[in-house]
Amino acid sequence: MKTRIYLFTGFLDSGKTSFINDTITTTDFCEGEKSLLIVSEQGEVEYNQEEIEACNCDLVYVNSEDEWTYEFFEELKNKYNPTQVLVELNGMFNVNRFLACSKPEGWEVVQVLTTINAQTFGLYIQNMRSLLYQHVVHTDLLIFNRIDETVKKSFLRNNIKAINSTCQIIYEKADGTVNTMDDDELPFDISSDELNILDHDFGLFCMDALDHPDKYAGKTVTLKGKFIGRDKQLVDGFVIGRLAMVCCEEDTSLIGMVCEHPAAKQLIPNEWIQVKGKIELDYDPDIGGEVCILKVEDLKVVPPLENEYVTFD
């Protein structure tokens, strides 16, 4: 019998404990299961052991990530014989170390869930990017909580998607209800037939065009970036892009758009160019939907930007 492991990541005061506690005590998540909760961080919110155990869930505390050993997990298996394990990971622990450590046969991490305080996310991006990267890169579901009218959802979403493009994101208000506010207004006039994308809006434009290609069909667009390389499908296709720093300068993610122009074969990799053309939509079987293709009418080589990295603020 397999034992499912649910790993909860996030920094202190990100809402992990409340999320886990609600999952155990107010839903049917533990119904018909023998559950085990492993806690490696104690914040302002504490677990009520009687309530947790009333849900057929045992509670174990860990003080150091050095305890993540095969012998430790084997001991838990023999003592509690759980069918599912919930792990609240200390925000300063190494996520990769937990995922890589040896576990008993049949013990498998089936889902990684991450909670982030939207009010302090900007500080993490600026000062703790490498640690944040560990939490986000493996996550399947990410919950931004404490959302209010001062928070730009596009800033949150685009920074996360640059690290992990496949994770699902949920936005919660302070009262725990799901946020239904409209997405942020874009920094350019989407109603205009011609869009001149400023350098600092490159990432916002490309990510929005990826999510909502229909909005840009038929529009004339001007943007600047690097020639990344030739497209494998289009004869005259190529990719214009810039890099988003997801962890450090050595760990980046490409943000870009497919273009088409006869001069593609003459371009040099990493050469900075400015393109202007009209967007058409084309079906991409890999993503199962339409994508934007910029049919370039004007192309010229330009000096590189002083700061080549994409930002989403």
Residue 184 has pLDDT above 70, yes or no: no
How many other CB atoms are found less than 10 A from the CB of residue 62?
Answer: 18
What CA–CA distance (Å, rounded) separates 44 from 252?
A: 35
Q: Which of 284, 294, 295 is nearest to 256 (CA)?
A: 294
Residue type, 170: I
Phi, psi for residue 165 in degrees, rounded to 5 = -75, -15
Two tokens, residue 214: 């229909």
What CA–CA distance (Å, rounded) separates 6 from 243?
A: 32
For helices 153-163 and 202-211, what crossing angle results, to 10°?
Answer: 80
What CA–CA distance (Å, rounded) separates 36 from 84?
A: 6
Q: Looking at the chain, list the stretches that DSSP marks H as alpha helix, in order from N- to C-terminal side.
A: 16-25, 49-54, 70-80, 95-100, 121-127, 129-137, 153-163, 202-211
Task: Work out the widest C-alpha separation in the chain, in whole angstroms.
Answer: 70
CA distances to 19, 47, 255, 267, 313 from 184, rounded to whole Å, are 26, 36, 20, 36, 12
**192-211 tens-digit pLDDT:** 999 999 998 898 899 899 98
Give this prediction's pTM.
Answer: 0.73
Q: Which of 280, 271, 176, 177 is nearest to 224 (CA)?
A: 271
**158-182 tens-digit pLDDT:** 889 888 888 899 999 888 888 765 6
What CA–CA distance (Å, rounded) separates 163 from 183?
A: 20
Domains of the chain: 3-173 (3.40.50.300), 194-310 (2.40.50.200)
**223-281 tens-digit pLDDT:** 999 999 999 889 999 999 999 877 666 667 899 999 999 999 999 999 999 999 999 99
What CA–CA distance (Å, rounded) separates 261 from 178?
A: 44
* Predicted pLDDT at 183: 62
* Predicted pLDDT at 145: 93
152: confidence class by pLDDT, cuts 50, 70, 90 = confident
What CA–CA distance (Å, rounded) separates 215 from 142?
A: 26
CA distances to 49, 90, 115, 146 from 95, rounded to whole Å, are 26, 9, 14, 24
**18-60 tens-digit pLDDT:** 999 999 999 999 999 999 999 998 766 789 999 999 999 999 9
Two tokens, residue 284: 């991409």
**Mean pLDDT of all residues belonging to the chain:** 91
How many other CB atoms are found less than 10 A from the CB of residue 285?
Answer: 7
**62-99 tens-digit pLDDT:** 999 999 999 999 999 999 999 999 999 999 999 999 99
What CA–CA distance (Å, rounded) separates 196 from 198?
A: 6
* Predicted pLDDT at 252: 79
Q: How far is CA 134 from the centre of its chain?
A: 11
